[in-house]
């Protein structure tokens, strides 16, 4: 079985998230999502609209996702790859080159983002309408 892993906050779920998860799943048989915890998001200076437990409930309902694990720090990726016997690490190409050190453990794929949509863009748009 070929295992794939990706990470993210997946807040305000949108078509770009679904596209990423769908394309990630096509790279293997089993998709693991490392979902950023609220505490980790705070350390990244990000604030999610939905709590970790709410985001987990949403993401685990997506048919492409087989397993969700909490992402609590930047450095856990190597440990997760080893622990879950991951074959492919996938992330959006806005992170191009940032995770190349993982190539010693598995294949690293940077997928193109869905044009015209992002959680940041949605939040900015909503703030403008308040």
Query: Residue ranges per domain, the chain?
Result: 3-129
46 is catalytic: yes
Whether residue 13 is predicted with pLDDT greater than 70 in this model: the reply is yes
SS3 breakdown of the chain: % helix, strand, coil, rounded to 5?
Answer: 40, 20, 35
Report the alpha-carbon distance of residue 68 to residue 54 in Å, rounded. 13
Q: What percent of the chain has pLDDT over 70?
A: 89
Identified catalytic residue from 44, 57, 67, 121? 44
Identified catalytic residue from 46, 78, 107, 123? 46
Whether residue 2 is predicted with pLDDT greater than 90 in this model: the reply is yes
Which residue, 96, 94, 121, 125, is CA-closest to 108?
Answer: 96
pLDDT tens digits, residue range 110-124? 999 877 666 666 656
123 is catalytic: no
**Integer angstrom CA distances of residue 63 from 23, 29, 32, 35, 107:** 12, 12, 12, 16, 23
pLDDT tens digits, residue range 71-124? 999 999 999 999 999 999 999 998 999 999 999 999 999 999 877 666 666 656
CATH class of residue range 3-129: alpha beta
């Amino acid at each position: 079985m070929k295992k794939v892993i990706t990470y993210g906050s997946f807040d305000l779920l949108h078509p770009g998230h679904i596209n990423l998860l769908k394309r990630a799943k096509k790279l293997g048989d089993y998709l693991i999502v490392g979902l950023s915890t609220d505490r980790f998001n705070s350390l990244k200076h990000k604030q999610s609209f939905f709590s970790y437990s709410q985001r987990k409930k949403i993401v685990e309902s997506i048919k492409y996702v087989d397993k969700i694990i909490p992402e609590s720090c930047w450095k856990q990726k190597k440990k997760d790859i080893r622990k879950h016997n991951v074959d492919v690490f996938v992330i959006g190409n806005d992170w191009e080159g940032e995770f190349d050190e993982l190539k010693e453990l598995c294949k690293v794929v940077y997928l193109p983002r869905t044009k015209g949509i992002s959680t940041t863009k949605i939040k900015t748009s909503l703030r403008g309408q308040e």
